[in-house]
Amino acid sequence: MDALAETLDTEEAATALVAEPDGRWAVELTFSHAPDADAVRDLVAQVAGAGLAHAVTFSTIRERDWVKASLAGLQPVTAGRFVIHGRHDRDRIGPNRMAIEVEAALAFGTGHHATTRGCLIALDALVKQSKRPRSTLDIGTGTGVLAIAAAKVLRTPVLASDIDFTAVKTARENARLNAAAALIDVVQGAGLTAPRIRARAPYDLVLANILLAPLKQLAASMARVVRPGARVVLSGLLTRQANAAIAAYRAHGLALERRIELDGWTTLVLVRPAWRGLSAR
Q: Which among 69, 63, 58 has a CA at the least distance from the CA of 19?
A: 69
**Sheet of 77-79, strands arranged across:** 77-79, 82-85, 98-101
**pTM score:** 0.73
Instruction: Return the percentage of the chain with pLDDT > 70, whole number.
Output: 81
Residue among 70, 98, 115 at smallest CA distance from 208: 115
Q: Residue 281 — pLDDT band, cuts 50, 70, 90?
A: very low
Confidence bin at 131 (pLDDT 50/70/90): confident
269: Cα separation from own chain's centroid: 14
Which pLDDT value is given to residue 279?
Answer: 39
Domain definitions of the chain by residue range: 2-69, 109-271
Give me the chain's average pLDDT, please. 84
Q: What is the pLDDT of residues 189-213, one digit of tens each?
A: 998 999 999 999 999 999 999 999 9
pLDDT over threshold 50, residue 215: yes
Confidence band of 221 (pLDDT split at 50, 70, 90): very high
pLDDT of residue 43: 83
Q: From CA 38, how far away is CA 75, in angstroms rounded?
A: 32
∠ Cα 233 276 216 (to 5°): 30
Residue 3 phi/psi, 5-degree rounding, is -65, -40
85 or 8: which leads in pLDDT: 85
Tens digits of per-residue pLDDT, 71-122? 555 678 889 899 988 877 777 777 778 899 886 544 455 667 899 999 999 9
Regarding the domain with residue range 109-271, which homologous superfamily does it belong to in the CATH classification?
Vaccinia Virus protein VP39 (3.40.50.150)
* Residue 29 scores a pLDDT above 70: yes
**What sign does the dihedral 116-117-122-123 (CA atoms) show?**
positive
How far is residue 78's CA from residue 112's CA, in Å, rounded to a whole number? 9
Residue 58 has pLDDT above 90, yes or no: no
CB of 71 within 8 A of CB of 89? Answer: no
